[in-house]
Amino acid sequence: MAKKSSLHSQRTRTGIFFAAPALILVSAFLGIPIIQAGYFSFTEWNGVDAIWLGFSAYTQEFKNPIFWRVLENNGLLLLGVPIAILFPMGIAFLLNEKVAGWKIFRSIYFLPTAISWVVIGMVSMRFFAQEGLLNDIFKAFGLGFIKTDFLSSEKGALFAVAITFIWSMVGTNSIIFLTGMATLDQSLNEAARMDGASNFRIFRSITLPQLNRFIQFSFIITVISAFTALFSLIFVMTGGGPGFGTTTLEFFIFQSAFSRGNFGTGAMLGVILFFMMAVLGIGQLLLMRNKDE
Amino acid sequence: MRRRKLTPKTITVFISMCVLAIVMLYPFVFMINTSFKSKAQYFGAPGHSTASWGKLFKTLPVAQQLLNSTVVCAGAISIILLVSTMAGFAIAKMRSKATPILFLGIVGAMLIPLQSIIIPAYINASKLNLLNGYWGAIFVYAALGSPFATFLMTSYFRGIPEDLVEAAIVDGLSYPKVFLKIGLPLAVPAIITVIVLQFIQVWDDLLVGLLFIQEPTYRTITVGLGALSAGRVTDIPVLMAGSLISAIPAVVVYLIFQRQLVNGLTAGIGK
């Protein structure tokens, strides 16, 4: 008994010792800074001196029309999320037909995942430009009158960012759905077909429910990307403009702190972003938990 | 081997997939094509040339920046592997009352977006003099990558039968020895997944490098390009040549380790 408990305490001690480096690293560079962000969000801070403002820091920001404009941009980007999920789902169905060369196609669709936003942004910028390919395509279809530099208008630029974002999610989301389709129980389909169910009916009542957790997963990944992964794309493609046309919350944080020196406001916007993502992230963790059980 | 039948359906599917492939490959075609043009050729003059490639090496210290990217990637990935294998093993196989706290403290940090901590982290790093070399960026990348890596390692080590560990302990092996001799060799697939995932992540990142590497001589290739494009350089063929060079290493890694990358991506859903 004494031996066993000493073994137990040895295990506890070694376990804590083993986990300590990761815990210290994560605390030093993520944990402590998020607490600091919480504190400094209530202050006016230039990076050196901080003046305590309390809740009025938040209420002031909530009166700032630019803040709401920025959130509106985030909201508009979210409109792209259903497309960024449904389109890849369709692609996954095509891939799942396993016609000749489907593995090569799969590799091609997933390839942009390896490319940086900087590179994607630079190419995308030219694609949407006045002399870019998109306008050439419009012209080819007799829509030459549309001819416009998308990045020069607020709505056009946001549209360009959204399309680029959707394009970049194609690989990730179709891989998620392809993984999901590999888990489908084919015998259910056949049983349903025997009972005379239509293709649509099989899709809606049998396939979709089985894909449920994959849809949830891709939804969360897509929304998190829309909120937190587009900094570099916006930085390269539009710089947040024209005006505040493509400034999203994550870009606004950077601008507030590093272009305008309002570190306190930047910290506060960071806290707001954190709470928005935490709600989603907890959902994701619960999802992971479910499959563990 | 099953012969695939040619039906109108498979032909339609095949054609749709070809069209989509063109859409997905367009950036590469554009980059390659444009990089082999001079500025005049880009604006309509006929033909191709290597002029822009020559110019690129004069505008951007390409070799130095590729080296910088390699150093930063190697540093960050080494730290991530070290701390995440140890922590994952501790959480999966050295369970105690402290385990849930450790798990939450490390893996829970996945919920923190980079942009939420970047301002205090930047100020802290500048006070600690971490912005003048590689270290600031290496530590931030390592901290950002460790939560998910630990999650992956934990689920991997959970797959090792408890009896195997118990038996080794009863035979007189210490926990560190069990980790080194039994744990690590079995975790090789997870380790490769983490390396591939993190290599692409760090290689392609702009924001952390932009802020945490202040000295231009230490800049990574992605940051170098980002700065060049934000500087409103109008020489597009030169930018495309740079983009292509910066993309090649990650694309090569992708082509070799595609399966591991997919495994890492779908690890969050489970099988």
Of B27, B34, B265, the CB nearest to A175: B265
Q: How do residues B23-47 score in pLDDT, each as one tens digit? A: 999 999 999 988 898 887 888 778 8
Number of structural domains chain A divides into: 2
Residues A12 and A95 in one domain: no
Q: Which residues contact A144 (CB under 8 A, 6 or more apart)?
A: A135, A138
Residues A23 and A165 in one domain: no
**Residue A255: pLDDT above 60?**
yes
B2: pLDDT confidence band, cut at 50, 70 and 90? low
Give the number of residues written for chain A.
293
B142: pLDDT confidence band, cut at 50, 70 and 90? very high
Of B16, B25, B203, the CB nearest to A94: B16
Return the structure tokens found at A233. 């794309």
**Residue B81: pLDDT above 90?**
yes
A7: pLDDT confidence band, cut at 50, 70 and 90? confident
Chain A: closest CA distance from residue B93 (Å): 8
Residues A224 and A84 in one domain: yes
* Residue A1 confidence (pLDDT): 42
- Say if the Cβ atoms of B27 and A119 lie within 8 Å: yes
* Residue of A35, A48, A104, A115 to mutate when probing chain B, most B C-beta within 10 A: A115
Averaged pLDDT for residues A265-287 = 86
Residues A14 and A117 in one domain: no
Averaged pLDDT for residues A255-269 = 91
Q: Considering the domain boundaries, does residue B121 fall inside one?
A: yes
Q: How do residues B163-220 score in pLDDT, each as one tens digit? A: 888 888 888 888 888 899 888 998 898 999 999 999 999 999 999 999 999 888 999 9
Write the ipTM: 0.90
Does residue A226 belong to the interface with chain B, where contact is any CB pair within 8 Å? no
What CA–CA distance (Å, rounded) separates A253 from A271?
A: 10
**Residue A166: pLDDT above 90?**
yes
Q: Considering the domain boundaries, does residue B17 fall inside one?
A: no
B260: pLDDT confidence band, cut at 50, 70 and 90? confident
Averaged pLDDT for residues A65-74 = 94
Does residue A281 belong to the interface with chain B, where contact is any CB pair within 8 Å? yes
What CA–CA distance (Å, rounded) separates A276 from A210?
A: 28
Averaged pLDDT for residues B123-139 = 91
Identify the residue whose tokens are 């003059």.
Answer: B45
* Residue A97 confidence (pLDDT): 82
* Residue B205 confidence (pLDDT): 92
Which domain covers residue A23, as residue numbers? Answer: 1-32
Contacts of B83 in chain A (CB under 8 A): 21-22, 25
**Residue A198: pLDDT above 70?**
yes
Peptide bond into A82 cis (omega under 30): no
Whether the CB-CB separation of B84 and B194 falls below 8 Å is answered with: yes
Range in A222-226, A270-274, B158-162 the model is least confident about: B158-162
Return the structure tokens found at B196. 């591939």
DSSP annotation string for B13-55: HHHHHHHHHHHHHHHHHHHHHHHTS-HHHHTT-SS--SHHHHH
* Residue B233 confidence (pLDDT): 60
Q: Considering the domain boundaries, does residue B4 fall inside one?
A: no
What CA–CA distance (Å, rounded) separates B253 from B263?
A: 15
Radius of gyration of chain B (CA): 23
What CA–CA distance (Å, rounded) separates B192 from B256?
A: 12
Contacts of A15 in chain B (CB under 8 A): 90-91, 94-96, 98-99, 102, 175
Which CATH number goes with the domain that contains B202? Answer: 1.10.3720.10
Q: Considering the domain boundaries, does residue A232 fall inside one?
A: yes
Q: Considering the domain boundaries, does residue A55 fall inside one?
A: no
Which CATH number goes with the domain that contains A97? Answer: 1.10.3720.10
* Residue A85 confidence (pLDDT): 94
Does residue A241 belong to the interface with chain B, where contact is any CB pair within 8 Å? no
Q: Considering the domain boundaries, does residue A54 fall inside one?
A: no
Whether the CB-CB separation of A277 and A224 falls below 8 Å is answered with: yes
> Which among A13, A128, A93, A24 has a CA at the least distance from the CA of B150?
A24
List the beta strands (DSSP E) in chain A: 43-45, 50-52
**Residue B251: pLDDT above 80?**
yes
Whether the CB-CB separation of B245 and A118 falls below 8 Å is answered with: no
Percentage of the residues of chain A whose pLDDT score is greater than 90: 44
Residues 184-223 of chain A with CB under 8 A from chain B are 213-214, 217, 221
Q: Considering the domain boundaries, does residue A191 fall inside one?
A: yes
Q: Considering the domain boundaries, does residue A143 fall inside one?
A: yes
Does residue A254 belong to the interface with chain B, where contact is any CB pair within 8 Å? yes
Percentage of the residues of chain B whose pLDDT score is greater than 70: 95
Secondary-structure breakdown of chain B: helix, strand, coil percentages, each rounded to the nearest 5:
80, 0, 20
Return the structure tokens found at A51. 């003046």
Chain B: closest CA distance from residue A269 (Å): 8
Identify the residue whose tokens are 């802020």.
Answer: B211
- Say if the Cβ atoms of A183 and B24 lie within 8 Å: no
Q: How do residues A87-131 score in pLDDT, each as one tens digit? A: 999 999 888 888 888 889 999 999 988 999 999 998 998 898 877
Q: How many CB atoms lie within 10 A of CB A64?
A: 11
* Residue A5 confidence (pLDDT): 66
Q: How do residues B224-240 score in pLDDT, each as one tens digit? A: 888 887 765 678 888 89
Averaged pLDDT for residues B73-87 = 96
Of A172, A228, A292, the CB nearest to B114: A228
Question: For B33, how many CA atoms within 13 A lie in the half-sphere containing its CB?
Answer: 10
Q: Considering the domain boundaries, does residue B206 fall inside one?
A: yes
- Helix pair B8-35, A81-96: axis angle to 10 deg: 120
Contacts of A127 in chain B (CB under 8 A): 26, 30
Q: Considering the domain boundaries, does residue A267 fall inside one?
A: no
What CA–CA distance (Å, rounded) separates B119 from A42?
A: 14
Q: How do residues A19-44 score in pLDDT, each as one tens digit? A: 999 999 999 999 999 999 999 999 98
Whether the CB-CB separation of B269 and A213 falls below 8 Å is answered with: yes
- Say if the Cβ atoms of B229 and A183 lie within 8 Å: no
Q: Considering the domain boundaries, does residue A73 fall inside one?
A: no
Whether the CB-CB separation of A7 and B90 falls below 8 Å is answered with: no
Does residue A63 belong to the interface with chain B, where contact is any CB pair within 8 Å? no
Return the structure tokens found at B253. 């890694």
Q: Considering the domain boundaries, does residue B184 fall inside one?
A: yes
Chain B: closest CA distance from residue A3 (Å): 11
Residues A226 and A84 in one domain: yes
Residues A141 and A9 in one domain: no
Whether the CB-CB separation of B264 and B194 falls below 8 Å is answered with: yes
Residues A95 and A1 in one domain: no
Does residue A42 belong to the interface with chain B, where contact is any CB pair within 8 Å? no
* Residue B121 confidence (pLDDT): 94
> Which among B263, B261, B240, B256 has a CA at the least distance from the CA of B36?
B240
Does residue A88 belong to the interface with chain B, where contact is any CB pair within 8 Å? no
**How is residue B5 annotated by DSSP?**
P
Nearest CA in chain B to A48: B123
Q: Considering the domain boundaries, does residue A18 fall inside one?
A: yes
Torsion-angle region of residue B88: left (phi > 0), alpha (psi -120 to 50) or beta? alpha
Contacts of A278 in chain B (CB under 8 A): 111
* Residue A67 confidence (pLDDT): 94
What CA–CA distance (Å, rounded) separates A83 from A162?
A: 10
Whether the CB-CB separation of B166 and B121 falls below 8 Å is answered with: no
SS3 A52: strand
Strands A43-45 and A50-52: antiparallel
Q: Considering the domain boundaries, does residue B15 fall inside one?
A: no
B270: pLDDT confidence band, cut at 50, 70 and 90? low
Q: Considering the domain boundaries, does residue B43 fall inside one?
A: no
Q: Considering the domain boundaries, does residue B152 fall inside one?
A: yes
Average pLDDT of chain A is 87
Of A47, A95, A123, the CB nearest to B30: A123
Which domain covers residue B165, as residue numbers? Answer: 53-266
* Residue A31 confidence (pLDDT): 94
Number of structural domains chain B divides into: 1
Return the structure tokens found at A246. 């493509």
Question: For A49, how many CA atoms within 13 A lie in the half-sphere containing its CB?
Answer: 1
Chain A: closest CA distance from residue B242 (Å): 9
Angle at B178 between CA B172 and CA B184, to 5 degrees: 165
